[in-house]
Structure 1
Amino acid sequence: MDRQYKEVFPSRSELDLHYSEAESLQKHGNPYSAIRLLKGSMYCYRLRYGKLVPEAFERTARLLGKFLDQYSHKEKELQRLTDPFGCWDPSVLKIKSNDFAYALDLSSDFSYLFPDQDREFSGEDPDFLWQVHRFYKSFPLEKEPDTWEKEYRKSSEGLLFFRPDRIVFTIGTTLHFHPQAFDAQNYYKIWDSLRGINPRTMREWNYLRKKEGDAYRTDFNYVSPDGRRSKIVVLEKFYLRGTRGILFSLAYPLRLESEAVKIWSRFSSSVVVE
């Protein structure tokens, strides 16, 4: 298995192979990986054939329906581990969510951090459930501190959303029990809290956020535990639709801005939130 993302997002050119792969995954105790793979295969067929329904599409739909029925009592796991799903070819990685009704395009050379490998990528608050999915491109620095890997997963301040050696694209979602507690104007405060952004850290980091069109740009200074200082930029879009909220963010060191701008432009021109 390719641990970048090709285990979870099927290739348009190998859908028959992915059907057999899904059967094997389910048989060997990996039902959520199988379901996610089949959802992605269905998406690939839709992208390729539109409203046409080839026989292979119907066969895939039947197997997916069978697995969904078999694990329907595992609603929370199905949501956490099988959505979003995707489809890729050498030119593009297409991501789609049914639960949160969005779709977007990324460059196919991103790697994917697997939520089913680390439960700290999701959590439950008294007022909402949250989850993050991360895609990244690495640009290693000399003498890279080995502590970054642990920091990136989680710190004492909150859920980190950047690394000085990577461009990180994050999809964050929240499902709210009390929708009246937040609106489109203050929804960002949820993610500030989860990420450890508060008056103290804003002062320490010289954290400056400003609105640019329908997005936000934040610049701040980050000092790693070994004393290394980095200028970090974060671009963000927030959506709140009833009880469901979405964060899209791209975080990168300022030295990689030209590359990051291309990634953000591709995402912004493709993203659809219903």
Structure 2
Amino acid sequence: MPTAELGDIRVQYRVAGSGPAVVFVHGLAEDHRSWRALQDEFTGFTTYAVDLRGHGGTTAGRPDGSLAQLRDDLLAFLAEVAGPAACVGFSLGGTIVLAAAAQRPDLVRGVVPIGTSSVVGRAAVDFFEERAQQVHEGETESAAETLRADTAGMVTAPGVDVEALVAYRLECIGDGTGYANAAMAMAGLREEPLSPLLPKVISPAVVVGGSKDAFCPRKAAEILLDGLPEASYREVPGAGHLMRADAPDAFGEAVREALTDVGVR
């Protein structure tokens, strides 16, 4: 696996295929492996799947619990490794991609936020702060049980192996430093929502949502669609928040069509 020294962190990523550049950014408690199926399928693109700060094989560095820091990590990766690219982000990754596009439209050529919110309510703040607190207070077993419950709530298809997903997600977060950091970045979307910055995203965008996503419902997508200057919507039928697990074929098709819609061919 290649790595790149970017600021205070060493970033691990997987690269595959050849053609126009596409960067995949995973969600909370995931890593580059969540995109492996799409990377193996999308051989006509040069795809980069990057591990976020403190997730997978990327070091935590000096985390400050802000979306701005995670945004700047992605911008550094684009500037020094991938070059200008279309960016696809799931959940947490979607907020990072949108923030990066608002800051540097020259580096983010198209945007595909998946299961993404630009603002969170009080209940969501409590949700994210509780998970960060469990890590900070060393409550390893409680954090694992919370992640297990969260994961079960993110899928709707009866055949999904939830325990395998939980084991994978626990492996991705390691000692939990990056997980807690990213959770606090998401909690910060209440006091500093991303919504006011959406008009600065001048790149074409396609918002993707799951029809049964209880964590990021259609209302969140509508906020993005209202704020983004050039955006459309694609839905993954019957899928909860973890769309790639619930409906992998439909999810892959939605992402491929979204990339075509934002001009990546």
The TM-score normalised by the length of structure 2 is 0.28
Higher RCO, 1 vs 2 (CA within 8 Å, ≥6 residues apart): 2
Larger Rg: 1
TM-score, L = length of structure 1 = 0.28
